[in-house]
Amino acid sequence: MPRYRLLIEYDGRGFVGWQRQADGPSVQAELERAIHAFSGEPVQTVASGRTDAGVHASGQVVHFDLDRWAPPERIVGALNAHLRPLPIAVLEARCARDDFHARFHALRRRYRYTILNRRAPPALLAGRVWHVPVALDAERMHAAAQPLVGRHDFTSFRAVACQSTSPVKTMQHLHVRRVGELVLVEAAARSFLHHQVRNIVGTLKLVGEGRRPVSFPAEALAARDRSAAGPTAPPGGLCLVGVDYPS
């Protein structure tokens, strides 16, 4: 039974998230529908991680099995044809080892949160950024973020509905930089808690506006209390940009 690995991108608007749910359309259900239409086989896909409603991906990795082998280039063309006009695209397909697992073998998930920092609202980037009209100090935000790098109890940045068995995670990378009118928050870890990145961004925004001191995120982290941190940033600015695996 051949196993395939896909690299996909999608616009999370209009979906309840990656995972199949009963209360609305999901990216997973639409991708499985396209695979079934192409192959005639019922399949179950496994993704590197679940993205929430409204969250985007440019580097989501998925694996699935077929009973019969098909050329990867044919899979790409067929799936994209069956996915039209949905905002989901298969960028690449490749044969994978029989034991490859998109979720369990991932070494690192990389997310980028994009803030549009200008007075005028977004037109071309609507739905893909968080519009913040008040001036932000990206260097101050970056300095405030560094105490969160490393292995910590991230209870203060965890959603109430988070199902993870432990609030302890290792943040491998957390960087804030300005590129013109955009403020980019880039985070990498093996795994994240529910809303962890969005809660961190909401906290850093308060620092960037000057409403909280640079020490605010570290103090919130130490409190181990969700109410000690900032608000949850909206989902549209968040994008899963890549997943790293052993070579």
Q: How far is CA 103 from the centre of its chain?
A: 13
**Residue 174 Cα distances to 24, 115, 140, 216, angstroms:** 33, 15, 13, 16
H/E element, 80: helix 72-83
What type of residue is 148?
L
CB 15 within 8 A of CB 38: no
Q: What's the CA gap between 16 and 7, in Å, rounded?
A: 20
Tell me which residues are annotated as active site: 52
Length of the chain in residues, anyone? 247
Orientation of helix 138-145 relative to helix 196-208, angle to 10°: 130
Q: What's the CA gap between 69 and 14, in Å, rounded?
A: 33
Q: What's the CA gap between 15 and 55, in Å, rounded?
A: 9
Q: What's the CA gap between 240 and 88, in Å, rounded?
A: 14
The DSSP code for 132 is -
Take residue 75 and report the two structure tokens written for it. Answer: 């899979």
